[in-house]
Amino acid sequence: MNYRHAFHAGNHIDVFKHAALVLLLEHLRRKAKPFFVLDTHGGTGLYDLAAPEAERTGEAADGIGRVLAAAPEPDLAPYLDRIRPFVDRGRYPGSPAITAGMLRDGDRLAVCELHPEDAAALRGNFRGDARVAVHHRDGYEALPALVPPPERRGLVLVDPPYESRQEADRVGRALVAGLGKWATGIFAAWYPVKADGIARTILHHLHAAGIGDCLQAEFLRHPPDGLRLAGGGLVIVNPPWRFDQEIGRAGAALARIFGGPAACTIRQRPIPG
Ligand SMILES: C[S@@+](CC[C@H](N)C(=O)[O-])C[C@H]1O[C@@H](n2cnc3c(N)ncnc32)[C@H](O)[C@@H]1O
């Protein structure tokens, strides 16, 4: 396990992923009934923007730094309103901190993290919040064990580092297993875009299992060239009503901010091919 999210937290990929996460959680908050979130690959939950890791890559400055310095974009307001209090204190919130900040009394978050140091940091960041359960555990194994939740409504976020070639297959299998136990849950799996068809592998697993109702939302800084990470996307099963339009508008706002060839693409029920 070499991947450490501290080097990348707050980059343009995190910005798009977390803008989508906030929009999904806003949907869940619209009903009074409690909801459950499972974050299978949590990271540490909170990142110091002045840490050597962040300064070494400069990714946060080039990501959330640029977004906050740009002219206001109303379609990014739900996301920016949630993260600004952290950034004002020199921190960038990871997915667990964003989710925890949007839980109401009665809602729950379970977060898995396998790296021992990151799991310890994660636990420390949520000590004292009884709504958040931190598991030092393999997120893929935890997924089918922790769903369906008694709340019966909620979200599973699968956001692995893709360090091995098998990871896309693991994600696809985990989604199918999770949906087999919780057919009505919202499942969102993040994937990187280089040139290697990771999304296609995930979609093949879903289609082979007869799961066709999904959305692919992608944000690229530049077209994939096979060398650099061009951007990332989310495969979302059971997306809330009109989420496609909301994330499309947020992605278009990001494309305006980053300029040049940056683009957001939203595809409904994609057919892998
Ligand atoms: C991309 S980062 C997660 C970022 C986080 N979701 C966010 O948005 O702030 C992926 C994390 O997964 C952890 N990890 C890798 N394999 C894992 C596994 N099998 N189960 C749980 N966590 C894992 C890594 O240590 C890393 O912290």
* Model confidence pLDDT, tens digit, residues 73-83: 999 999 999 99
User: Taking the CB of residue 117, how many other CB atoms lie within 10 A of it?
Assistant: 11
Tell whether ligand 1 has an atom less than 6 A from the beta carbon of residue 164: no
Q: Which residue's CA is the closest to the ligand 1 atom numbered 8? A: 95
Tell whether ligand 1 has an atom less than 6 A from the beta carbon of residue 172: no
Question: Would 236 be classed as within a structural domain?
Answer: no
Half-sphere CA count of 245, side-chain side, radius 13 A: 2
Question: Would 65 be classed as within a structural domain?
Answer: yes
Q: Which of 242, 257, 240 is nearest to 186 (CA)?
A: 240
Separation of CA 136 and ligand 1 centre (Å) = 11
User: Taking the CB of residue 134, how many other CB atoms lie within 10 A of it?
Assistant: 24
Q: Lowest-pLDDT range, 119-128, 161-170, 222-231?
A: 222-231
Tell whether ligand 1 has an atom less than 6 A from the beta carbon of residue 41: yes
Phi-psi region of 170 (alpha: psi -120 to 50; beta: other; left: phi over 0): alpha
Give the pLDDT confidence score for residue 194 in this predicted structure.
86
Question: Would 91 be classed as within a structural domain?
Answer: yes
- Mutating to test ligand 1, I would choose from 83, 114, 132 the residue with most ligand atoms within 8 A of its C-beta, which is 114
Q: Is 244 a catalytic residue?
A: no
| Three-state DSSP class for residue 251 | helix
User: Taking the CB of residue 24, how many other CB atoms lie within 10 A of it?
Assistant: 24
pLDDT bracket for residue 271 (50, 70, 90): low
Give the pLDDT confidence score for residue 230 in this predicted structure.
94
Question: Would 273 be classed as within a structural domain?
Answer: no
Tell whether ligand 1 has an atom less than 6 A from the beta carbon of residue 215: no
Question: Would 141 be classed as within a structural domain?
Answer: yes
In the predicted model, what is the mean pLDDT of the chain? 95
Question: What is the tally of structural domains in the chain?
Answer: 1
The percent of residues in the chain predicted with pLDDT above 90, rounded, is 91
Q: Is the dihedral of CA 234, 164, 229, 90 positive or negative?
A: positive
Cβ-based neighbours of 16, under 8 Å, separated by 6 or more: 219, 231, 232, 250, 251, 254, 264
User: Taking the CB of residue 213, how many other CB atoms lie within 10 A of it?
Assistant: 11
Question: Would 242 be classed as within a structural domain?
Answer: no
Q: CA 149, 204, 251: angle at the middle one, nearest 5? A: 75
Structural domain of 141: 5-192
pLDDT bracket for residue 273 (50, 70, 90): very low
Question: Would 239 be classed as within a structural domain?
Answer: no
| Three-state DSSP class for residue 156 | strand
Q: Which of 138, 159, 225, 244 is catalytic?
A: 159
Tell whether ligand 1 has an atom less than 6 A from the beta carbon of residue 107: no
Q: Judge whether residue 19 has pLDDT over 90.
A: yes
Separation of CA 253 and ligand 1 centre (Å) = 27
**Atom from ligand 1 closest to the CA of residue 8:** 1
* CA gap 198, 182 in Å, rounded: 24
Separation of CA 43 and ligand 1 centre (Å) = 5
Tell whether ligand 1 has an atom less than 6 A from the beta carbon of residue 95: yes
CATH number, domain containing residue 53 = 3.40.50.150
Question: Would 177 be classed as within a structural domain?
Answer: yes
